Structure 1
Amino acid sequence: MTNLINTKVLPFSATAYHNGDFVPVTEANLTGKWSVVFFYPADFTFVCPTELGDLADNYAEFQKMGVEIYGVSTDTHFTHKAWHDTSDTIKKVQYPLVGDPTGRISRNFHVMIEEDGMANRGTFVINPEGEIKLFEVHDNGIGRDASELLRKVKAAQYVASHPGEVCPAKWKEGAATLKPSLDLVGKI
């Protein structure tokens, strides 16, 4: 897999189902604020609704941090609407569900499983400049945890606003950070 850290999001154009409407989404939507692009294999499946529901339950916290979430699968925006209309879990989703039936967005983010025509579980944190600051790709049998994603986004935001500081393992908001220097070498 190509290292996408600090690269700009490539151009794309898609349609999302969002709050009862079909809306256009492009790479421009991912600039000017922090964004999470959250790929999942397919609507009407098993692990996917648990993840999207978990994000929905934590969406207000992401919003307080100035973060927009975009759920993306290779389904169409019409399928996203049908899933939203029929699933109690997905009815909770208030963030855009982006259709990627051509797989262009999935390929741009290097998560497309060509032989299956769907994406791996990929999570991408994008800064306001449109640069990928964090990404994780999971096997499709392994679900993700929104609270851990919240922690990582907080760390990315902290590092961005505090040049010269880094967040150690298990860092939580308000905890001590590190200032890399020669004095720390071999002492941690």
Structure 2
Amino acid sequence: MGTTRDRALAAAVRLVGEQGVRSLTHVRVDAAAGLAKGSTSNWFRTRDALVAGVVVWIAEQERAELSAAMAPARTAAEIVDILAGLVDDATGRHAVRTRARYALFFETTAAPGAQAPMRTQRSMFEEWTRDLLAALGAPDPDTAARTVLAVCAGIIVNRLTVAPGIPVRPTLERAVLGCLAA
């Protein structure tokens, strides 16, 4: 079942991912988590603290999954396979969490404590992507990594909004191969 804190954070992610950022209140989180009134505020005294806590929790969950997925890849096809799997997960079984993360991106300007975990997460994933592309001979691995990650983000947004069935692999393959040839 998890700790009271974990239950509150999981409920907060569901609320934001299903109902939007405005649903993120201590009272709603308590109700959604099946906790006694005031439980969430024991862990997160302010809304900013709650936003920061949710962002950190999402980053921790994703980091654990990314670490498992970030296997060494020896070919462009393997990189595409790994990225396609991550995008499929982000827009499939973890779609609610991904929607919450995207919604909270804009909230973090008001909650400075939440920006650091997002930057750390992005840096880790960018470094991994850059290293893989550099090992395969990308002429500009930094730009290549940013390009591939931007394509991934675009596919994710499209799949979560207007084009849920959009194929992932062909677009990622073109991006990866283009970055290796540039």
TM-score normalised by structure 2 residue count:
0.25
Query: Relative to total residues, which structure has the larger strand share, 1 or 2?
Result: 1
